[in-house]
Structure 1
Amino acid sequence: MGILEIVKKLEEAGHKKIKFAICDIDGILRSKTLLLDKFIEITEKQAGFCDVVFGWDSSDRCYDNVEITGWHTGYPDKKANIDLNTFRNVPWDNNIPYFLGDFENDENNSACPRTLLKQIRRQATDLGYKAIFAQEFEWFNFLGTPNELAASSFQKLQSLTPGMFGYSQLRPSLYKEFFNELFDLLFQFDIPLESLHTETGPGVYESAIRYDEILKAADKATLFKTAVKEIAYRHGIVSTFMAKWNEDLPGCSGHIHQSIWNADQSKNLFYSGNPTKPMSPLMESYLAGQLYCLPEVLPMYAPTINSFKRLRDGAWAPTTVTWGYDNRTTAVRVLNGDEKSTRLEMRVPGSDMNPYLAMAASLASGLYGIKKGLKLESPAIVGNAYAKQDAVKLPSNLMEATKQMAQSTLANEILGEAFTNHFTKTREWECREFAKAVTDWELKRYFEII
């Protein structure tokens, strides 16, 4: 749909304003609401958007160690493109027109996650491939408002429902208006869900988003997290996508399903058609690339201090560089069905990751394997991957993972040196911020007894 057609549609509907958003390095949508006339003006050129959105962290604290923006540059406006193909209406906000945008990529601005994904997607297109991706999320829900939770210092939180009720028919009926609105309003927002159900844990839901080509899939996954939170607000509920909010409860995943098709999406190139050899050679090389690159790009899948609290043995999250057929203890799960459903599931990401970055890392790693003709160096894990003592272990914390990525020539090669440098600097900042914090654990452990 072109700008003239969009404007005509908006004017006929009586809209006077639109909203558009940029996704920052942490996966947070930073948005503006614009007068319709202003929107028309900037679509003829480009929108100005302060590049501080790539110069501060999730708490709006400015980085002191990045180069592309900062006090030394004066935090200028950068040219942002509004992608008209992302046009949708927000059904829970008076159907306000909504668009996503991204920043031009140049030597002075290499931090935009959506732009990075577009670059990696272009590599696939140039090879004659179409990447089909989908993401699934787990998240916890709590009763209350943001003010109430903040006032309580996030202590004594009341879960939406009590008890461990995975795949429950009973529990969603307690807050059925919220449950049904999630499914129905997200569909109207062009984020169709394949499934929505409770997961094991008090007040936790899981949802699988319908698959699409990779950029649209990342758009939907990014919008999904914010949309869920906004819909939850309508019901006096706060949703969290932390990877591990409680030591004693399961973590929250953000698994990525993926397959490579030919250009017109008529043939799944992962499908072998041979039941005795279920993976095509291309699928094997793609999988080998994902495993080979995984330790070098781990912060793209696990970007926070908290991410690594989820990556623990026996906690439904992988800890090793392993793969297996329909095995939920490995890093990558191979799903072989018919031609339509044959795919890989990258199980490392938690629900706290940035979908653009996680999908970019996934696709870039797989393409690396294809380009290099990599072969699988280890057999499929049968049984418990946590018990495989000889398997390569993933880095166990964000600092270790960030150091490995920052020193990686491989990460520079598949993601670009400028992006890798900026991203790893932001993760180093995250580690420094945590290192100086005094935690509840320290107070309980040391305050009186030490």
Structure 2
Amino acid sequence: MNQTDTEVRAKGMMTKRELEEAVREGRIDTVVVAIIDMQGRLMGKRLTGDYFLQGDLDHGTHFCNYLLGTDMEMNTPPGFREMNWEGGYGDWLARPDWSTLRRIPWLDKTAMVLADVVSEATGELIDIAPRSILKKQLKKARDRGFHIMMASELEFYTMEETYESIHDKGYERILTAGRYNEDYNLLQGTRNEPLYRKVRQYMTESGIPVESSKGEACAGQHEVNLVYTDALSSADRHVSFKHGLKEIGIQEGYAITFMAKPDHRWTGSSGHIHISLWDPDLKNNLFYDPAAKHHMSETMRHFLGGVMKYTRDLTLWFAPNINSYKRFAPESWAPVHIVWSRDNRSAGIRIVGDKKGLRIENRITGADINPYLAYAAMIGAGLEGIEQRIEPEAERKGNAYEVKGSPSIPGSLYEAIAYWEGSDTVKKILGEDVAYHYGYAAKLEQQAYDAVVTTWERARYFEQG
């Protein structure tokens, strides 16, 4: 993750005019318009090429506003302020951002564009939409003279069966596409290379340049690193990659999961975030100071201080699901303490690289994040650190799992909700409406889980209880 992608930015991408030509010539006949929902999924419509040519898509296409007020199973629970039966579940607009337009090589004659969620009456961004939330933080950064560069590392499990077969078995006895720890193991990687090679090629052809792929620390687990770029493009690529990988897997007969901890016996899947601040011309990494300790500039120190101070308040977006918290365990390759260290994989925050490559790696985030929200949380906390000139605590060397006296990562969604709701800083960074909306959604998720009797409970208490 040391490079930027100025030289490959255009590969696989299209302009609106190029799309119009491709539709007229019959090379494209389907245009996908997608928004990002609360869970980080793509939702939208498939438009015919003819309708695209005739319609005024610059204005946007309608969708029901309930899409930003559902749970993971697309239920529409009461209690959201923005969408409810009293308000009639009206429409918002998905307004295409044509800079995200890309050809989708794994789908026949198809292009896709990501869209911002806007009000039809005013044309303004809807505050609670994930892409709007990230854009707000990026504007704050630009107003202070910062250009933010980011990248995601994505870990996932590949299953040697389909989503349907796993569902029909009740999500038990799932067969991974591997039989042993394949971390960097090229021999085991070769077994699934026909799939992963196709993924790397397809993604690059669709404007999502991949740095590398590798086996990860459990059977069937793999990691793909996306090229470092500006924060909004990085989040756009993250969700497009995740969605596309699942589509390719479906076509090839594999199920892919980005659950943080699919099985308590397996290594958790991370979604590490890398970040650095640059000047507006992208000439200087503002985190780098050759005369400073660890080459960390004052800007970097204060940004790091903010991230560390407010991580617990914002953990809801770093670990958004019930399952997310199963990943945090000692000596698991996932952190348990909010400490920083230079190139130390036991710490929650790792400082890596040097000079133009100097950056912060957030190792708390899991593969199940919504990147727009996790990015926004990290940026917002860091900017607060710069504004308040927050100094981070001293570097923790050695085994960070054995740290005493430093804050720990919240151990459950319950705990994360409590930090979120009790934080004035969350409301300051995100606004009261966003803070309420996502806090309420988290409480609904917790309530849904609490109402279910699990197989574990029956096995433990049915006879002996």
Q: TM-score range by the shorter chain?
A: over 0.9
| Cα distance in structure 1, aligned partners of 2:385 and 2:231 | 18
Assess, with a 3 A threshold, how the Cα gap between structure 1 residues 272 and 108 changes in structure 2: closer, same or farther.
closer
Establish whether residue 81 from structure 1 lines up as the match of residue 95 from structure 2. Answer: yes
Assess, with a 3 A threshold, how the Cα gap between structure 1 residues 44 and 230 changes in structure 2: closer, same or farther.
closer
Q: Is the 8 A contact 1:104 1:115 kept in 2?
A: no
Corresponding residue for residue 4 of structure 2: none
Higher deviation after alignment, 41-50 or 402-411: 41-50
| Cα distance in structure 1, aligned partners of 2:28 and 2:221 | 37
Matched AA of 2:387: K
- Equivalent pairs counted in the alignment come to 448
Q: Give the TM-score, by structure 1 length.
A: 0.96
Matched AA of 2:86: H
Higher deviation after alignment, 321-330 or 100-109: 100-109
Matched AA of 1:38: Y
Corresponding residue for residue 322 of structure 1: 339
Find 2:57's aligned residue among 29, 39, 43.
43
Aligned residue runs from structure 1 range 38-77, under 5 A: 38-40=51-53, 41-77=55-91
| Cα distance in structure 2, aligned partners of 1:15 and 1:27 | 27
Corresponding residue for residue 5 of structure 2: none
Find 1:200's aligned residue among 203, 211, 217.
217
Q: Which runs of 4+ in 1 moved over 6 A?
A: 105-108
| Cα distance in structure 2, aligned partners of 1:71 and 1:398 | 28
Matched AA of 1:141: T
Local SS of the residue matching 1:43 = coil
Corresponding residue for residue 301 of structure 1: 318
| Cα distance in structure 1, aligned partners of 2:464 and 2:388 | 57
Q: Is the 8 A contact 2:147 2:230 kept in 1?
A: yes
Cα-to-partner distance string for 1:146-168 (whole Å, 9 max, x where unaligned): 21111001111111010112101
Q: Is the 8 A contact 1:258 1:345 kept in 2?
A: yes
Local SS of the residue matching 1:296 = helix
| Cα distance in structure 1, aligned partners of 2:51 and 2:423 | 44
Q: Is the 8 A contact 1:68 1:108 kept in 2?
A: no
Q: CA RMSD in A?
A: 1.7
Local SS of the residue matching 1:441 = helix
Establish whether residue 164 from structure 1 lines up as the match of residue 181 from structure 2. Answer: yes
Corresponding residue for residue 398 of structure 1: 413
Q: Is the 8 A contact 2:351 2:360 kept in 1?
A: yes
CA deviation after TM superposition for structure 1 residue 232, in Å: 1.2
Q: Give the TM-score, by structure 2 length.
A: 0.93
Local SS of the residue matching 2:56 = helix
Find 1:132's aligned residue among 136, 149, 160.
149
Matched AA of 1:87: L
Find 2:110's aligned residue among 96, 108, 112.
96
Q: Is the 8 A contact 1:197 1:205 kept in 2?
A: yes
Q: Is the 8 A contact 2:130 2:372 kept in 1?
A: yes
CA deviation after TM superposition for structure 1 residue 288, in Å: 0.4
Q: Which runs of 5+ in 1 are unaligned?
A: none
Establish whether residue 347 from structure 1 lines up as the match of residue 360 from structure 2. Answer: no
Matched AA of 1:414: I
Corresponding residue for residue 10 of structure 2: none
Establish whether residue 28 from structure 1 lines up as the match of residue 28 from structure 2. Answer: no
| Cα distance in structure 2, aligned partners of 1:372 and 1:275 | 20
Corresponding residue for residue 241 of structure 1: 258
Cα-to-partner distance string for 1:80-126 (whole Å, 9 max, x where unaligned): 21111100011010140110012127899432001111111111111
Corresponding residue for residue 265 of structure 1: 282
Q: Is the 8 A contact 1:336 1:342 kept in 2?
A: yes
Q: Is the 8 A contact 2:34 2:94 kept in 1?
A: no
Cα-to-partner distance string for 1:233-268 (whole Å, 9 max, x where unaligned): 222110100000111111000000000000010110
Find 2:424's aligned residue among 393, 404, 409.
409
Aligned residue runs from structure 1 range 108-187, under 5 A: 109-187=126-204
Matched AA of 1:29: L
CA deviation after TM superposition for structure 1 residue 42, in Å: 3.2
Corresponding residue for residue 428 of structure 1: 443
Cα-to-partner distance string for 1:390-411 (whole Å, 9 max, x where unaligned): 1112221001111210221100
Assess, with a 3 A threshold, how the Cα gap between structure 1 residues 15 and 235 changes in structure 2: closer, same or farther.
closer
Cα-to-partner distance string for 1:408-431 (whole Å, 9 max, x where unaligned): 110001111111110000000000
Corresponding residue for residue 23 of structure 2: 10
CA deviation after TM superposition for structure 1 residue 280, in Å: 0.5
Matched AA of 1:370: I
Local SS of the residue matching 1:317 = coil
| Cα distance in structure 1, aligned partners of 2:126 and 2:193 | 45
